[in-house]
Amino acid sequence: MKKIVVVFYVFVSSVLYAQQTEYVDFKKAEVSLDAFDENLKKVTGKVDYMFDVLKPVDSIFLDSKNINGYIVSLNNNDSINYYVENDKFWLIHKFKPSKDNVLSLKFEANPKKALYFLNRDNDNQIWTQGQGKYTSNWLPSLDDVNDKIEYDFSITYQNDYEVLANGKLIDKHVGDSLTTWKYDMKQPMSSYLAALVIGKYNKKTETSKSGIPLEYYFYPEDSLKVEPTYRYSKQMFDFLEEEIGVAYPWQNYKQVPVHDFLYAGMENTSLTIFSDAFVVDAIAFNDKNYVNVNAHELAHQWFGDLVTAKSGEHHWLQEGFATYYALLAERDVFGDNYFYYKLLESVLDLSRQDLSGNGTSLLDPKSSSLTFYQRGAWVLHVLRDKVGDVVFKKAVKNYLNKYQFENVETSDFIEEVEKLYGKSLTSFVNYWIKNKAFPYDEAFTILKRQSVFVNEYAMVDCEAKSSKCADYLKYYVSDEAKVKVISQVPELVTSDTFKNSFIVRQAISEHVTIIPASLKEDYESLLNDKSYITIEKALYNLWVNFPLERAKYLAKTRKIVGFSDKNVRMLWIVLNLNTPYYEADSKYELFNELVNYTDASYNADVRINAFKYLDLIKSCNEDCKKNLESAKSHHNWRLVKFAKELSEKLEQNKN
């Protein structure tokens, strides 16, 4: 490493930090990752950046966090000055305007975030999460979302593993022990969307109506879960292409579940990564499926990946659009009532946020996710209602075509609508976008005008012994209205109420916790439902209400595991441990099974569930406490937060 005069470094950092795009245009990155060390959590690789110099400049930079071991070459010249400090790699050179320069960097990265090394069922799994400004933790890159680059990947890893990255697989060379996978992108993207996944997977492929390959990855043991997990994927893809009016902009679309992901899903360009908690069987699909996350991340391929917000102030252009178009795709699958109910839920959530004093402008970069996602979606819904379908759809199409592979502000989208609408939308922007308070009264009025269902749902305001509420439960068509009645007055439930859909029956299991003897047989039938939520709640309520028949209920549900977080199994274990005369299983082995679920080999949701139950029965033993301590340093922030809070609680109880 060669030294640079400190005065010079101060100059470049102050002048060029936020203005590099005026001087340099990074166009393409050829990334080669040739060694992964799972024990040291290290990756070794090389990246060749092709760039044009637009104006004379004395230095250029890349973002570089926990990356070292640099070997640097500029246009095949190894005698080049560079400097690494404050998470920046600075290349010092008197650049003149020029094209097709090549900066080559060999490097070693020890990422603290963004690239995660895991072990799942004794197999390695490696995946990335770059949103924010995190890709520079494992790849020298540019955190600025306004600098879009075409990334091509060459990744070498052990045989028998699948390796995925952005773009199209153009070559795969299998050696004696290692395989090299080469992926090609045709268009540029922001660096936070660069992604890779390595793991043990099988694949199912469909083709969209427009000819795009749709690749669905799954763990080898989950072949029976492929259909329910990816259900409606092709239908929603075809719908969004037609609804948006702009062809899917990438070469293919891949989706892959990973262990202990940080969020529900992430829309990396052409490669959506999602939590394997959404890998479900046919029963779990009814309770907790991947459909909404699937549609949301797919919509991002246009809104966020193709056209990217310039800054956090305009973040709603990504999340609001993705939320709205996901709802439209779900409407195509589940119908109008579902669509309007979700919009109504958003109105209620946003109104509660405002009433609590936490409402913010949609253009506030510090706004909550609720604001960016749900309020953003509502702005689009109201705007469409105002200007009409034809103008709205044409404006969205023009907006995407005009700014494809570029960055945008809110005014860019609004201007496209105004051109076709023929009127100013300034008052609309001030009221619905810039205003701190969300206009929930107006939103509710719009919904009631648009939907008979919303009017019906809004009428439900029940009290005990109300004959009208009993009639609602008997005669209303929508499940949602019936669920609302049951939640408000559970004592109105009769035998006839059980003769409804699983959604209504699920509400019975949740809200009818004191079971009349006259409903005992009907209530027991809930244990047969195709819903793990219903089974879990019904099992507990029956166990509490009818202690003399606990053995019967435990025997009936003995082999049910439930979701991937083992919700039914863990409840069953705890109930078994607290049923003295039920000896179908060794209570010692069952307790050890529950403690074992707190181990690091299980995903965060399983561990959190197990910790909660062990705390509930006051049985967090030394193994449990050891696993709780290790959970504090996990990469999943939800698990870390939970572990710290539970540790504090246990410590306080001890004192």
pLDDT at 12 over 70: no
Band of pLDDT at residue 18, cut at 50, 70 and 90: low
pLDDT digits (tens, 9 = 90+) for 150-208: 999 999 999 999 999 999 999 999 999 999 999 999 999 999 999 999 999 999 999 99
Asked if residue 237 is part of any domain, the answer here is no
On whether both 394 and 479 belong to a single domain, the answer is no
Q: Kindly state the average pLDDT of the residues 420-444.
A: 97
Nearest residue to 599 (alpha-carbon basis) of 630, 571, 620 = 630
Read off the CATH number of the domain in which 424 is found: 1.10.390.10
- The verdict on 134 and 5 lying in the same domain is yes
Q: Are residues 536 and 431 in the same domain?
A: no
30: part of which helix (H) or strand (E)?
strand 24-37
Predicted confidence (pLDDT) per residue in 239-281, tens digit: 999 999 999 999 999 999 999 999 999 999 999 999 999 999 9
Domain's final residue, options 454, 478, 504: 454
Output the pLDDT for position 654. 79
**Are 502 and 554 in a shared domain?**
yes
Determine, yes or no, domain membership for 271.
no
Same structural domain, 105 and 79: yes
Q: Which residues contact 341 (CB under 8 A, 6 or more apart)?
A: 453, 454, 457, 480
The mean pLDDT of the chain is 94
Residue 43 CB coordination number (10 Å): 23
- Domain assignment present for residue 549? The answer is yes
SS3 assignment, position 94? strand
For residue 262, being part of any structural domain is answered with no
Nearest by Cα to 37 from 108, 133, 103: 108
- Would 580 be classed as within a structural domain? no
Placement of tokens 């080898």 in the chain: 220
49 and 77 share one domain: yes
Using a cut of 0.85, tell me whether the model's pTM lies above it.
Answer: yes
60/172 same-domain check: yes
Residue of higher predicted confidence among 588 and 655: 588
Query: pLDDT by residue (tens digit) across 378-426?
Result: 999 999 999 999 999 999 999 999 999 999 999 999 999 999 999 999 9
Instruction: Report pLDDT for 2.
Output: 34
Q: What's the structural domain count of the chain?
A: 4
Tokens of 469: 């509420």
8-state DSSP, 170: E
481-508 pLDDT, tens digit per residue, is 999 999 999 999 999 999 999 999 999 9
Residues 515-525: pLDDT tens digits? Answer: 999 999 999 99
Domain that holds residue 522: 462-558
Whether residue 144 is found in the same domain as residue 5 = yes
Query: Which amino acid, one-letter code, is at 125?
Result: Q
Inform me whether the pLDDT recorded for 11 exceeds 70: no
Q: How confident is the model at residue 132 (pLDDT cuts 50, 70, 90)?
A: confident
pLDDT at position 216 over 60? yes
Instruction: Read off the pLDDT of each residue in 81-94 and give the average, rounded to a whole number.
Output: 94
Return the percentage of the chain with pLDDT > 70, whole number: 96
End position of a domain, from candidates 454, 484, 502: 454
Q: Are 78 and 141 contained in the same domain?
A: yes
Pair 61, 181 in one domain: yes
Please write the tens of the pLDDT for every residue from 34-60: 999 999 999 999 999 999 999 999 999
Which residues are within 8 A (CB) of 394 and not within 5 positions of it... i.e. 6 or more apart? 245, 420
Q: Are 193 and 269 in contact (CB under 8 A)?
A: yes
Over residues 558-575, the mean pLDDT reads 97
Domain CATH code at residue 43: 2.60.40.1730
Q: Is residue 474 part of a domain?
A: yes
pLDDT exceeds 70 at position 465: no
Question: Which one of 171, 192, 213 terminates a domain?
Answer: 192
Residue 91 lies in a domain: yes
- How much is the pLDDT for 5? 32
Residue 205 within any structural domain of the chain: no
- The answer on 9 and 70 residing in a single domain is yes
| CB-side neighbour CA atoms (13 Å) of 111 | 24
Torsion of CA 337, 343, 344, 347, to 10 degrees: 180
Residues 365 and 393 in one domain: yes
| Contact present, 457 and 487 (Cβ < 8 Å) | no
